[in-house]
Structure 1
Amino acid sequence: MNTAGDTDDHGLDLIPFRGVRYVPQRVGSLAAVTSPPYDVVVRPDGLLHLESADPHNIVRLILPQAITPAARNDQAADTLRTWLDQGILAPDPEPSLYIYEQRDGEILQRGIIGALRLSEAADGIVLPHEDVMPHVVEDRAALMRATSANLEPLLLTYRSESNATGALAVIERTALNKPLLSTTTEDGFSHRLWAVTDPAELAEIRTDLARHQALIADGHHRWATNLRLRSEHPSPSPWDYGLVLLVDTARYPLRVRAIHRYLHQLPVADALAALADTFRVRTLEGPLPRALDALAEAATEGNAFLLAGDGRYHLIDRPSPDLLSRTIRADRPEAWRTLDATVLHSTLLDHIWRIPDAPEHIAYIHDTEATVEKAERDGGTAILMHPVREEVVRDLARQGVTMPRKSTSFGPKPATGLVLRSLDV
């Protein structure tokens, strides 16, 4: 987004940094050492798969495995130091901004990776749209303190008015050159990375971005973590900046997907019985894609969810208007009060099922099939969501209204492990 009246002193401030990257000759392949963002990794199966892909997979840093949180963080810090000492990872010779490209069939996304200033003046410049969970922020903060590193970038979006000049022009010119690295991950996405070091091009990018605001597309917990750690360290310090990927969605639109819920301790039969006559309930025949089509159709008329876990799919929709009026806050905009995530958390979880929003009760899973498989394997209830429209997200963010946590999943997300930022370099 950009807004009238933005000035060079009141916009995004992105600076180059010495990226820490894998040395290709020291690892099996770049694809084998990358990972999805930490909160997308499906555990434990996905975690074990990544750990076995290569002994130096980045998941050993972003999701270290040990008995206690302190031991996990110490292990990640020791691993990072060891990989730097052994030349598995190495800092680039000079500060750079990095042009990053992802491509899969018709999908093409390009953006800029850099260190974004986290100053108090940034309030209103970087716009969150979701609430965060304090325990996750504390977990990420402890890991970042231990490693003194930004291990994966946030995904931020902005919207330019022209592709002829500024940051986008530099991106397009740079993408014509030979990249620093190129790899294809097992999900079929190809990834390329370039370094921008020319002072004139760095200035062109910085001047352009200083006129813009950004929306957090992915990484609300990492953003909150960055702000907490910045407040703990006197300025100036490297903690004044955080690692981000900025994508101009006027040129490279993102996809918006839903994040599903898994209720560990609630069987499907109990979930349906508790609904009584507050929602319409229909049991669907057929495979998951057909059930998702029915969910999408129902979502055009109002709030709708798919429940799974007993070998079938149950579409619940048309909630009682009286129930909604009694369980949803009236002091929020209509767009917020009618969100599926609002109805799920305020009406279903808090009021009908009385399930606390805590890790032992609720898991947030991005992959649809993985959510269903976990419910069928473990006996809980999968709640499949329909994605919210991007314009709703932006409108609420502009109003300063945050959505319930884990309401959206923007993508494609950057692969973790292609470039890190060490605060000690």
Structure 2
Amino acid sequence: MESSERTGLMLRPFHGVRFAIDDLAAVTSPPYDLVSPDELRDLLGRHANNVARLILPGVSHYADARELLVRWLGSGVLTVDSPPGLYVYEQSGAGFLQRGLIGAVGVGTASILPHEDVMPGPVADRLALMRATEANLEPIFLLYEGGGTASRLVDDVATQGFPLLDIRTSDGVRHRLWAVTDPVEIAAVGEDLRDRRALIADGHHRYATYEALRRDHPGPGPWDYGLAFLVDSLAYPPDLKAIHRVIPGLSLEEAAARAKGAWQVHEFSVLEDALAGLATATGPAFVLAGDGPAHLLTDPDPLQVGRAMPAGRSARWRSLDTSILTAFLLPRVWGIEDSEQAVLVVHHDPLAAVRLARQHGGTAVLLNPLLTEDVLAVAAEGERVPRKSTSFGPKPRTGLVMRTFASD
């Protein structure tokens, strides 16, 4: 079936693959792209069966991940659930609660809305791993506007059912998981979701990998679906955080000096004061930080910004801070094209971005988070925001439930 023929949001049951060991928290991991080198060493040292050994095997070691997966399945470290089902997954912690459904989502449908550009390197990496393991080792994160049968089922199961697992990870978050195997309930979920659309909140590179893997196989099969965590954004509004940039080799002094030709540049001796100004800015704004005083950029020259924006983009897209960063500030002001090598990213933590900038003799560019409604509006128009524009959370924990093609 061609992609153009696939319609509707499909979430089908699957045979979950789960760890069968006592200390389940010790074998889990954050999503692969959030694991720093230091954290990877900690995860690998925490337990011999930590899932990081599968999701981060290292370049050209993908076959090792396959061998390890086969070994763990054969030895009983991993077991396959039967019958197939959907899974209700709950995360909770200080001041937050999120619930949703984990299932196998149909790939190649117009009902899945990407909102962010992808880079070829991460797609190639995830595709090589997925081809080698023939498995979906961690779910993508989808948001939809629900309020129907699926949402009610999620809350009913979470408040009345006995969980398959109930653990607390080292970050203090509690994770609970339930299986839904009743064919009538599963059919009701499918009927509820059929006419809905879902936004990719996290996992654009993995979804692009799902699509590439499906193109590898002309006939129907398990590659027509990919592991996903689907959350009703009306019941559980997401937390959207910023992803900061680091420009190695661009000194803070030079970055600030070159910005003065197009921005209002305000100097602060204390970084926290600059960040306070960023948080209250009413238009495009960035903080530059590193070795020396911080600088708050505000009120860019509208004529220069307008000339830098690519043709054919909507007014909403042109107003996004990350669009102005990638189309104007980086290339026009600093002469830098956005790439994984030239522009590093740091999720959420501005102080970590400043530390990284100092290590590389560069400049940290600190951002405000985008607004969820702006991201949804851009995606609904078929546009995509620049890479690494959003960090929706809380993200699903890796290692709680996986999917292999052989078992599904």
TM range, smaller chain = over 0.9
Of residues 337, 348, 351, the one that matches 2:329 is 348
**Corresponding position: 1:12 with 2:12:** no
Counterpart secondary structure, 2:32: coil
Identity %: 47
Q: Which amino acid aligns with 2:13?
A: P
- Where do residues 249-328 of structure 1 align in structure 2 (5 Å cutoff)? 249-288=233-272, 290-298=273-281, 300=282, 302-310=283-291, 312-328=293-309
- Where do residues 23-422 of structure 1 align in structure 2 (5 Å cutoff)? 23-25=20-22, 29-42=23-36, 44-65=37-58, 69-70=59-60, 72-119=61-108, 122-123=109-110, 125-162=111-148, 166-175=149-158, 176-288=160-272, 290-298=273-281, 300=282, 302-310=283-291, 312-368=293-349, 369-422=351-404
Q: 2:3 — aligned with what?
A: none
Q: Which runs of 5+ in 2 are unaligned?
A: 1-5
Q: State the shift of 1:46 in Å.
A: 2.1
The question of whether the paired residues in 2 share the 8 Å contact of 1:330 and 1:337 is answered with no
Counterpart-to-counterpart distance in 2, 1:12 and 1:399: 18
Q: Which runs of 5+ in 1 are unaligned?
A: 1-8
Q: State the shift of 1:244 in Å.
A: 0.5
Counterpart-to-counterpart distance in 2, 1:292 and 1:341: 17
Deviations 1:282-326 (A, max 9, x none): 2223354x433221112x2x1111112215422112111121022
Q: Which amino acid aligns with 1:106?
A: G
Deviations 1:321-367 (A, max 9, x none): 12102211242111111111111111121222222333222222213
The question of whether the paired residues in 1 share the 8 Å contact of 2:147 and 2:235 is answered with no
Deviations 1:11-61 (A, max 9, x none): 211111111111123xxx22221111111222x222222222222221111
Counterpart-to-counterpart distance in 2, 1:89 and 1:58: 11
Q: 1:5 — aligned with what?
A: none
Counterpart-to-counterpart distance in 1, 2:72 and 2:344: 32
Counterpart secondary structure, 1:212: coil
Larger mean Cα displacement after TM superposition, 46-55 or 11-20: 46-55
Counterpart-to-counterpart distance in 2, 1:393 and 1:92: 36
Counterpart-to-counterpart distance in 2, 1:78 and 1:314: 51
C-alpha change, 1:283 and 1:55, in structure 2 (3 Å) is: farther
Q: State the shift of 1:201 in Å.
A: 1.1
Q: Which amino acid aligns with 2:302?
A: P
Deviations 1:146-182 (A, max 9, x none): 11110111111111244xxx11121122112110001
The question of whether the paired residues in 1 share the 8 Å contact of 2:18 and 2:81 is answered with yes
Deviations 1:239-267 (A, max 9, x none): 00011000001111111111111222322
Counterpart-to-counterpart distance in 2, 1:320 and 1:133: 30
Counterpart-to-counterpart distance in 1, 2:338 and 2:193: 37
Q: Which amino acid aligns with 1:168?
A: S
The question of whether the paired residues in 1 share the 8 Å contact of 2:241 and 2:348 is answered with no
Counterpart-to-counterpart distance in 2, 1:311 and 1:114: 49
The question of whether the paired residues in 2 share the 8 Å contact of 1:327 and 1:347 is answered with yes
Of residues 7, 18, 21, the one that matches 1:21 is 18
Q: Which amino acid aligns with 1:364?
A: V
Please list every run of at least 4 consecutive aligned residues from structure 1 whose deviation after the TM superposition is greater than 4 angstroms. Answer: none
Counterpart secondary structure, 1:316: strand
Counterpart secondary structure, 2:33: coil
Counterpart-to-counterpart distance in 2, 1:268 and 1:159: 43
Q: Which amino acid aligns with 2:320?
A: L
- The TM-score normalised by the length of structure 1 is 0.90
The question of whether the paired residues in 1 share the 8 Å contact of 2:271 and 2:289 is answered with no
Q: State the shift of 1:135 in Å.
A: 1.9
Q: Which amino acid aligns with 1:339?
A: L
Counterpart-to-counterpart distance in 1, 2:250 and 2:57: 29
The question of whether the paired residues in 1 share the 8 Å contact of 2:242 and 2:348 is answered with no
Counterpart-to-counterpart distance in 2, 1:21 and 1:266: 46
The question of whether the paired residues in 2 share the 8 Å contact of 1:20 and 1:422 is answered with yes
